[in-house]
C-alpha cells in the first residue's frame, strides 16, 4: 500500500464521521466534575479528619504525656514539660487557625462585568475579533486578554476557571481536597502558613513522643505509649510529605509563580511577575513582620492584592508590545 493511501478498513461513511465529530464535541465540553459532587462531601470529611488528627496529636503530647509531668517530679523536668505544653499548644492553635482560614476564606472572584479594556465597546470588539482564525496574540503570555466560555466573562491575568467551585478564581493555584476550597489570591498566604505550622508541629510531636513510643516497643505500656506510637507514625508521614510541599511552594514563591503556571507547557522568559525574592514574598505576606505569622490581611493589603490581578497596566503593555511586533 502506498504511503498516504487510506486503508479500506479505516474508511468511514459521512454519517459516521458526523456522529464521531458530534460525540467528540460533546466530550470536549463535558464537565466531568458535575459527576463528582461526592468530592465535596469527601472534602468535608477530610476537614473533620484533619482537625481530628490535630486534636489527637495534641492529646498525645499534652494530656497524654507532658501534662502529668508538669505536676510531679523534679522542678527542672516540670519546667521543661511546661515549655513543651505551651509551645505545642500554640502551634496547634496557629495551624488550626490557618487551616480554617484556608477553608473558609474565598480565594477571590472576578467582579461582575469586569474586563481589561478602556470601555465596553472595546471589550465587545475584542471579543468579536477573537472569533476570527487570524486573531493572534502570544498564548505563552499570561497577560493576554482571555475570555472564559463557561462563565461568559473576561478573565483577569493569572485567573483560571475552577470546575469544582464553578467560577473563575483570581490567581488560582490549585483546588485542594484537604481544604474543600480553591487556593488562590486571598488565601494562598494562609495555605502556606498552614503547611509551615503543620510541618513544625509534626516534627516537634515526633521529637517529644520518641521516649514514650520506645516504652511501647519495650513492652512496658506507660502513660500514653500506644497513643504516642500512633501519633509518631501519623506525624512522620505528614512531616515527610509536607517537607516536599514546602520546598516546592518555596521555589514558586521565590519566582512569584503558581502551581498552574509552573507546570504550563510553555512560559515566556523572563517571567513578568518575578519582582525579586523580597518583593515576591511581601506581595503575598505583606510588609508587617507580625502578620507574616498570622492568617489575616488588612483592608489595604487586600486592596493591593486585588489590584495586582485586576489592573490593566500589564495587559496594556502586553498588547502594545504585541502590536509593535506585528507592525515590524
Beta bridge mates, 147: 154
Q: What is the DSSP letter of 109?
A: B
With CA atoms as reference, report the closest residue to 148 among 175, 173, 167. Answer: 167
CB 271 within 8 Å of CB 264:
no
Residues 6 or more apart whose Cβ sits within 8 Å of residue 65:
208, 209, 212, 223, 224, 228
Cβ count within 10 A of residue 150: 12
> 38, 176, 182, 309: which one is catalytic?
176
Three cell numbers at 134?
Answer: 487570524
- The 3-state DSSP class for residue 169 equals strand
- Give CA separation, 44 vs 100, 180, 181, 195, in Å: 12, 7, 10, 19
Residues 6 or more apart whose Cβ sits within 8 Å of residue 317:
143
Side-chain-side CA neighbours of 102 within 13 Å: the count stands at 27
Cα–Cα distance, 106 to 149 (Å, whole number): 22
Residue 309: phi and psi, rounded to 5, are -100, -30
Separation of first and last alpha carbons in the chain? 47
CB 210 within 8 Å of CB 84:
no
- Give CA separation, 300 vs 87, 110, 284, 305, in Å: 32, 19, 13, 9
Cα–Cα distance, 80 to 143 (Å, whole number): 54
> Is residue 151 among the annotated active site residues?
no
- Give CA separation, 248 vs 187, 219, 241, 252, 283, in Å: 18, 41, 11, 6, 18
User: Which residue numbers are catalytic?
Assistant: 176
Amino acid at each position: 500500500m502506498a504511503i498516504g493511501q487510506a486503508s479500506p478498513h479505516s474508511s468511514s461513511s459521512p454519517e459516521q464521521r458526523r456522529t464521531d465529530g458530534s460525540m467528540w464535541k460533546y466530550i470536549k465540553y463535558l464537565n466531568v466534575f458535575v459527576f463528582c459532587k461526592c468530592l465535596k462531601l469527601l472534602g468535608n470529611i477530610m476537614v473533620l479528619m484533619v482537625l481530628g488528627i490535630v486534636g489527637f496529636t495534641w492529646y498525645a503530647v499534652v494530656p497524654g504525656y507532658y501534662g502529668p509531668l508538669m505536676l510531679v517530679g523534679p522542678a527542672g523536668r516540670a519546667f521543661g514539660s511546661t515549655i513543651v505544653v505551651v509551645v505545642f499548644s500554640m502551634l496547634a492553635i496557629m495551624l488550626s487557625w490557618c487551616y480554617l482560614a484556608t477553608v473558609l476564606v474565598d480565594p477571590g472572584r472576578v467582579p461582575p462585568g469586569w474586563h481589561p479594556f478602556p470601555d465596553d465597546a472595546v471589550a465587545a470588539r475584542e471579543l468579536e475579533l477573537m472569533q476570527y482564525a487570524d486573531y493572534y496574540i502570544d498564548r505563552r503570555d499570561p497577560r493576554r486578554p482571555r475570555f472564559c466560555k463557561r462563565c461568559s466573562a473576561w478573565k483577569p491575568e493569572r485567573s483560571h476557571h475552577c470546575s469544582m467551585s464553578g467560577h473563575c478564581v483570581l490567581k488560582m493555584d490549585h483546588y485542594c481536597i484537604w481544604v474543600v476550597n480553591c487556593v488562590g489570591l486571598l488565601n494562598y498566604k494562609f495555605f502556606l502558613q498552614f503547611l509551615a505550622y503543620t510541618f513544625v508541629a509534626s516534627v516537634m510531636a515526633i521529637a517529644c513522643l520518641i521516649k514514650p513510643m520506645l516504652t511501647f516497643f519495650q513492652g512496658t505500656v506507660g502513660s500514653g505509649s500506644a497513643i504516642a506510637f500512633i501519633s509518631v507514625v501519623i506525624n512522620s508521614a505528614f512531616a515527610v510529605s509536607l517537607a516536599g510541599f514546602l520546598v516546592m511552594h518555596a521555589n514558586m514563591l521565590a519566582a512569584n509563580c503558581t502551581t498552574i503556571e509552573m507546570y504550563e507547557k510553555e512560559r515566556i522568559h523572563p517571567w513578568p511577575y518575578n519582582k525579586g525574592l523580597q518583593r515576591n514574598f511581601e506581595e503575598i505576606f505583606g510588609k508587617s513582620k507580625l502578620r507574616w505569622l498570622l492568617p489575616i490581611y488588612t483592608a489595604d493589603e487586600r486592596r493591593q492584592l486585588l489590584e495586582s490581578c485586576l489592573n490593566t497596566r500589564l495587559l496594556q503593555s502586553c498588547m502594545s508590545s504585541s502590536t509593535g511586533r506585528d507592525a515590524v
